[in-house]
């Protein structure tokens, strides 16, 4: 019985609130719905004022969950969009890189075409595939050999100037000694004054130009080209530029320091001049005759 009495006020309160809500709805429905100036009565307005914050509190967790979900979905969409933009950016960068390479290649080919016209010598393009690791020798390996017509003694150039000389070949590859090698010696001439000398490799990134002092006119900034003497390189290939001239003193020979025309640290593509000079033809012809003679002696006897 006591428990029933305790529940009675609560039950009466709930029933009263429900009845009050029904009456309020009936009254509200009976009001003119089309009147724009319609105002709620005092008690109805009070109920609305109380219900609004309560409704807001009740709806707050649901609104928070809904907004969080919307933001999460938006973040997923933004992540997908960013991935797409990054992919497009990478594609554009790759395309720009290819275009830059094409422009560089077109400029290189144009300069090589001019070189071909100057020397009227067939040239075979080749790529560097290796560098001699020895500090005593400066040589490179190229991806063209006897099968493509490359022979020992053929000069190698780039669009900037002289690179070196083919020293050994295989079927599809060849080894070339650079002008930087200590064994390299080239007959050179000052393009401006026509003073002659010998360009020697030092095994470093610089070259020496040895010339006789008497009547020689060598200045800083002068360009040294091949003279055509010696029968190894054609005349007129750019070799290097003078950067310093030593004090001759009482010596008969004077030395100038040169910087090569070719940047060997960035060398990628070269061109083999498919023609040997007279000296190279004589040297390798005698070697060939010697090899044939040796083979005949070994086979048939002296």
Residue partners of 288: CB distance under 8 A and separation at least 6: none
pLDDT at 136: 77
Q: Which fold has domain 123-283?
A: Thrombin, subunit H (2.40.10)
Residue 212 or 186, more confident: 186
Interatomic CA distance for residues 109 and 127, integer angstroms: 14
pLDDT at 69: 64
Residue 246's pLDDT band (cuts 50, 70, 90): confident
Residue 251's pLDDT band (cuts 50, 70, 90): confident
pLDDT at 233: 93
Q: Which strand (E) or helix (H) includes residue 67?
A: helix 42-119
pLDDT at 292: 44
pLDDT at 180: 95
291, exposed or middle or buried, with CB in 10 Å at 0-12, 13-18, 19+?
A: exposed
pLDDT at 299: 44
Among 1-5, 24-28, 234-238, whose mean pLDDT is lowest? 1-5
Q: Which strand (E) or helix (H) includes residue 82?
A: helix 42-119
Q: What is the pLDDT of residues 78-115, one digit of tens each?
A: 666 777 767 676 666 656 555 555 555 556 666 666 66
Residues counted in the chain: 302
**pLDDT value at 36 more than 50:** no
Question: Which of helix, strand or coil describes residue 24?
Answer: helix
What's the whole-number average pLDDT of the chain?
76
Question: Which of helix, strand or coil describes residue 81?
Answer: helix
Question: Which of helix, strand or coil describes residue 105?
Answer: helix
Q: Compute φ and ψ for 37, nearest 5 degrees.
A: -95, 10
Residue 300's pLDDT band (cuts 50, 70, 90): very low
pLDDT at 6: 54
Residue 4's pLDDT band (cuts 50, 70, 90): very low
Domain ranges (residues) in the chain: 80-120, 123-283
**pLDDT value at 76 more than 50:** yes
* C-beta separation of 277 from 153 below 8 A: yes
Helices (H), the chain: 2-30, 42-119, 278-300
Tokens 């009456």 sit at which residue?
A: 23
pTM value > 0.75: no
pLDDT at 298: 47
Among 16-25, 64-73, 136-145, 273-282, whose mean pLDDT is lowest? 16-25
């Amino acid at each position: 019985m006591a428990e029933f009495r305790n529940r009675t006020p609560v039950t009466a309160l709930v029933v009263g609130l429900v009845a009050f809500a029904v009456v309020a709805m009936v009254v509200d429905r009976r009001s003119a719905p089309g009147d724009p100036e319609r105002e709620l009565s005092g008690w109805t307005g009070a109920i609305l004022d109380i219900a609004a914050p309560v409704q807001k509190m009740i709806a707050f967790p649901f609104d928070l969950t809904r907004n969080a979900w919307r933001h999460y979905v938006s973040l997923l969409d933004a992540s997908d969009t960013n991935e797409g933009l990054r992919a497009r950016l990478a594609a554009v960068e790759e395309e720009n890189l290819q275009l830059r390479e094409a422009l560089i290649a077109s400029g290189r080919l144009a300069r090589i075409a001019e070189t071909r016209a100057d020397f009227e010598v067939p040239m075979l393009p080749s790529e560097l595939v290796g560098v001699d690791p020895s500090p005593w020798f400066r040589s490179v390996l190229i991806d063209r050999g006897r099968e493509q017509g490359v022979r020992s003694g053929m000069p190698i150039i780039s669009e900037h100037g002289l690179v070196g000389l083919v020293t050994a070949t295989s079927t599809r590859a060849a080894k070339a000694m650079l002008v930087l090698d200590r064994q390299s010696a080239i007959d050179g001439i000052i393009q401006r004054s026509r003073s002659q000398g010998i360009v020697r490799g030092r095994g470093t990134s610089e070259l020496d130009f040895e010339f006789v002092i008497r009547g020689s006119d060598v200045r800083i900034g002068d360009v040294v080209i091949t003279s055509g003497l010696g029968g190894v390189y054609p005349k007129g290939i750019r070799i290097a530029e003078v950067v310093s001239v030593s004090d001759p003193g009482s010596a008969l020979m004077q030395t100038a320091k040169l910087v090569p025309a070719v940047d060997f640290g960035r060398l990628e593509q070269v061109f083999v001049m498919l023609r040997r000079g007279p000296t190279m033809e004589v040297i390798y012809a005698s070697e060939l005759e010697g090899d044939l003679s040796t083979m005949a002696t070994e086979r048939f006897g002296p």
